[in-house]
Amino acid sequence: MSSEIKLFSGTNSNYLAEKIAKSYGKPLGALTISKFSDGEISPSFNESVRGCDVFLIQSTNPSADNILELMLMIDAAKRASASKVVAVIPYYGYARQDRKDKPRVSIAAKLIANILTSAGADRVITCDLHAGQIQGFFDIPLDHLNGSAIFVPYLQSLQLSELTFAAPDVGGVGRARSYAKHFEVEMVVCDKHRKRANEIASMQVIGDVEGKDIILVDDMIDTAGTICKAAAIIKEKGARSVRAIATHAVLSGNAYENIENSVLEELVVTDTIPLKRPSEKIKVLTVADLFAKAIKAVTDHDSISSLFI
């Protein structure tokens, strides 16, 4: 006999969890997240989860309270005798710290994977990790969804005649190439050099962009400095239009001002992270159906490969 499925949401992702639950066809379970006066988090399930497959939906974008809240939810579910606990993490934070790129630094992406496992997660479902090899940091099953399932139909609807994809940096070549291969078009690369984090010293474009409708492809947008600089240089070199797609809209610092003052026609993101404020240049697509289908595939023991484009 299969276990009962129950979906719960952390504080940070309730807006998205409600849409995922609606798409899945099951209401969110009753969960209370209370805080002591000093800020200590205390989650408690208001219904039995004994013997259930529990899906906990929570992105781990700042602040770090979101990560701790997720861990406490996992621990509470395990101690309440849940059969399985699946952490549904639309945005996996700290993924940029995936290696030692200089001496004496943490590999935070691995640490978060360890903490999730130690807390008692049996499985993780996430989307567009900053680096695909982070999947190898986990000793539990991880389903890595791809934002292309959301972006490809939208890009097709634009019917751009001179479509060309661009990687905003060398690290994003693989993502841009996969889109270019699917659409059977060309791609270009923006090669950047940084002096320090979030500060670009120089950038150049490798490839022909003249008269093209350029789509910059990235997994996340933080300060938007790289994307906006890349868009400006591409436009200067004769591109007809420049748009950008990115799964995770972190949008910190002067990101909104950078985007609104840029040459970008639009920035298309998903709702793995909620926008801090609306912007005429930012279009949001939902990942709710994608995650609902992934949860259903996991519960039915089906392959998730059908969700990939």
**Closest of 42, 127, 136 to residue 98, by C-alpha:** 136
Active site residue 100: no
Q: Is the four-CA dihedral 40, 19, 126, 178 of positive or negative sign?
A: negative
Q: Is the bond into 42 cis (omega within 30 degrees of 0)?
A: no
Q: Residue 251 and residue 173: Cα distance in Å, rounded?
A: 22
Chain centre to alpha carbon of residue 193? 25
Beta bridge partner(s), residue 224: none
Taking the CA of residue 294 as centre, how many other CA atoms within 13 Å lie in the half-sphere pointing to its CB? Answer: 28
Q: Residue 89 and residue 126: Cα distance in Å, rounded?
A: 5
Q: What tokens appear for 30 in the block?
A: 């009753």
Beta bridge partner(s), residue 217: 245
Which secondary structure element, helix H or strand E, spans residue 8, and what is its range? strand 5-9
Q: Residue 62 and residue 41: Cα distance in Å, rounded?
A: 15
Q: Catalytic residue among 84, 192, 229, 293, which? A: 192
DSSP 203-229: EEEES--TT-EEEEEEEEESS-HHHHH
Task: Return the active site residues.
Answer: 192
